[in-house]
């Protein structure tokens, strides 16, 4: 009887190991040289340090922050803490911020990122091209109606990116949201969604809600990655466009694999939360 029990135990153990191996393949580990997007790093500095440490292990090609880097952009002490956490990362890899509401359009934000090619004084919109991806960063705190300076600049940037295989747009306030904040809090959806469709934008990344969310609308993925250290928010509503909601700290990686844009989301202990592939435009 003991031999039978031992045999059954070995069979169960073997099957368990096989299942574990299948669920934890190398594809679950962030790829070296990925482009990273994360945000809402604000107040939990322990979590922010942990996520930055995980990002540094990736040796990223570039890092983007979706905004709300600090709790109050007018407070120099908060910037001192942010800089102490990110100084090594920013010294070794390109770091591109979107401006959030908590930055309060402060001079300190622009002073901390004087190397960024902003459109002008207190005009926190700009464009970065990496490989075959055009990244366009907007300021969702500012006017984005069709007659605004920022909107006109945005359309020109989209037009000049037509030769890019992928277009990724980054701004702080999401258009779609099932978390703590109201959807399209800034009322910019009517202006931006049509041009996303016209120019076949591959993905939009936002913050503001402190969690991970994925939506799909009119050919464009909308991803909220706001889990960089601010207090986590739960789910408050439903949306027909929502495909995933995870209340967890997180960051995203982007890679071009076999001609497609692969987007993965990981939490602070590198458990993979999501994976999607996007065809070229």
Distance of CA 60 to the CA centre of its chain: 14
Q: Of 2-6, 150-154, 178-182, which gets the smallest average pLDDT?
A: 2-6
Query: Is position 18 within any domain?
Result: no
Query: Is position 25 within any domain?
Result: no
Domain interval for residue 171: 35-278
Nearest Cα neighbor of 154 from 130, 190, 123, 125 is: 125
Query: Is position 28 within any domain?
Result: no
Q: Over the Cα atoms of the chain, what is R_g?
A: 20
The pLDDT tens digits for 245-272 are 999 999 999 999 999 999 999 999 999 9
Given strand 272-278, what is the order of strands in its sheet? Answer: 95-97, 62-65, 35-38, 251-257, 260-266, 272-278
Query: Is position 273 within any domain?
Result: yes
Q: How far apart are CA 156 and CA 149, in angstroms?
A: 11
CB of 116 within 8 A of CB of 97?
A: yes
Query: Is position 1 within any domain?
Result: no
Q: How far apart are CA 278 and CA 256, in angstroms?
A: 9
The pTM of the full predicted model, rounded to 2 decimals, is: 0.89
- For 203-221, what is the mean pLDDT? 98
CATH of the domain at 174: 3.60.21.10
Query: Is position 5 within any domain?
Result: no
Helix axis angle, 189-198 to 149-160, nearest 10°: 10
């Amino acid at each position: 009887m003991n031999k039978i029990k031992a045999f059954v135990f070995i069979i169960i153990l073997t099957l368990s190991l096989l299942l574990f191996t299948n669920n934890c393949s190398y594809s679950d580990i962030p790829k070296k040289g990925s482009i990273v997007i994360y945000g809402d790093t604000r107040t939990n500095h322990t979590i922010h340090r942990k996520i930055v440490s995980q990002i540094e292990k990736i040796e990223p090609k570039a890092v983007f922050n979706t905004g709300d880097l600090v709790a109050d952009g007018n407070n120099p002490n908060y910037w001192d803490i942010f800089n102490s956490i990110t100084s090594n990362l920013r010294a070794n890899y390109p770091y591109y911020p979107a401006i959030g509401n908590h930055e309060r359009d402060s001079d300190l934000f622009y002073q901390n990122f004087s190397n960024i090619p902003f459109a002008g004084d207190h005009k926190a919109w700009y464009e970065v091209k990496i490989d075959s991806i055009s990244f366009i960063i907007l300021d969702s705190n500012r006017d984005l109606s069709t007659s605004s300076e920022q909107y006109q600049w945005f359309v020109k940037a989209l037009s000049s990116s037509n030769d890019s295989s992928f277009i990724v747009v980054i701004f702080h306030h999401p258009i779609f949201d099932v978390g703590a904040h109201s959807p399209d809090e800034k009322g910019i959806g009517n202006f931006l969604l049509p041009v996303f469709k016209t120019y076949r934008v591959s993905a939009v990344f936002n913050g503001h809600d402190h969690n991970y969310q994925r939506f799909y609308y009119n050919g464009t993925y909308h991803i909220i990655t706001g889990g960089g250290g601010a207090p986590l928010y739960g789910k408050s509503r439903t949306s027909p466009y929502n495909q995933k909601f995870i209340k967890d700290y997180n960051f995203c990686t982007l890679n071009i694999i076999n001609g497609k844009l692969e987007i993965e989301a990981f939490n602070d202990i590198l458990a993979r939360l999501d994976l999607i592939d996007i065809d070229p435009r």
